[in-house]
Structure 1
Amino acid sequence: MAEASSEAGPDEATLTVDELSARVGMTVRTLRFYAGRGLIPPPVRRGRVGYYGPEHIARLDLVRELQAHGFTLSAIEGYLERIPDNASPQDIALHRTLLTPWMRDLPETLDRPALVRRTGRELSDDDIEMLIALGVVEPTPDEDVFQVATAHLSLGVELLDLDLPVDAVLAAGRIFTDHGRAVAEELTEVFRTKVWPHYRDSGGPPEYIQQLVERFKPVTIQGLVLAYERAVGETQRDTVRRRRRP
């Protein structure tokens, strides 16, 4: 990462290391460790005092987001190396926005009794197996401890009452996973090449850009739902037409 000087945005760099520590909620020792690993650029020097600005804050926020996603320090270094040294705080904020989970709630770790209390019903081993097949519950190395997508737990419980074959649920899950990954990859490319440059060039602050992107998410999901509904309708009509043929 390139050396910073008094020419690199001196008017924007106004925080001492103690003030930066209070601003981002990290210890001075941690900040200096990150700086030594090149995760943030050197401070802007004015005499013997170093000052930090929006770029440092944006990069530290991104480091925290990457840590929350389970990235190791080496992986974080590799990720940040791909971000140009002259990236603006807005550019860095967009990187962070792409990492924001699209689910409203992150998974919770629940043991079996807590899962039973949360669902409000007794859960047999077959019920647990079905919830795992649905992707609502994921097993962990600890027996009877699970990662639970609580935002979808009530839907999973409703599906238990349908008495669906587990192999059918698993087959459907594979379809959604395979096609969902393809849709996600293509939408990410659209975001990277079309949405990102538009928001970046708008010149808005990182918070404004993140709000715009957050609004983009539900619109995209709704579009996917509508496309699926149309596709199901067309498939049904095609099936009826084929059956009517002699």
Structure 2
Amino acid sequence: MNASAAPAVAAPEISIEMLATRTGVTVRNIRAYTSAGLLPPPRLQGRLGLYTDDHAQRLSLIRALRDQGFGIEAIRRIFGRAPASAWPDLVAVARSVSGSLFAEETPMIVSAEALAAKWNGQMTPALLARATKAGLMRELPDGQVQMLSPALGEVAEQLAALGLPLEDAIGMQETMARTLRTVARHWLRTLADGLLSGDTGQAERAAQLLEKARPLATGAVQAAFPVILQQELDALLRKAA
């Protein structure tokens, strides 16, 4: 026997109450997720259920996906179809889409070479022209590129890391830009029709109100998008089943 070989140390096991404290998920929800098949059952020691780090990690992912608006059925199918190594990436993409995507940002200027290097040379002049036409980027006279939403660029990079071609990622962003532009126009026209009159003073007041309405519109889209995303994902997974 090799005296230098250290014996394997079993991972510590904890009670459901300790697991709840560690993860911030209530005991009731832990049991509900176990019943729903999202969480493996604990190892039983008599009547005591014992949980491991694997349970804690999976619970953290469940909580993150739930925070981004994913339903129980959608999470179950994600766990069943995606390898465990991809779960953190899925959470990161969901968080970027529903969070920083709608935040007010400072545009970032990058060189065309640096932009191309981000996607292993996938950024062609044609794709850059499409992104520019969609209003997501702007080509500057000195040849550099102004990214109007760095968060969108991060989302595209995370999608590329999951294996989605850059052309498909830009196509998704084009569709999103067209849809959000339609929403913005409808909001502004509705507000303007409701507030504007021929009175000059009223017009100035309306302009101020429209400016104050911008964060309300942003918040409305941010609140609605995860709900709609979950509904569409559930529908897609039902069709694929």
TM-score, normalised relative to structure 2: 0.40
Query: 1 or 2 for the larger relative contact order (CA 8 Å, sep ≥6)?
Result: 2
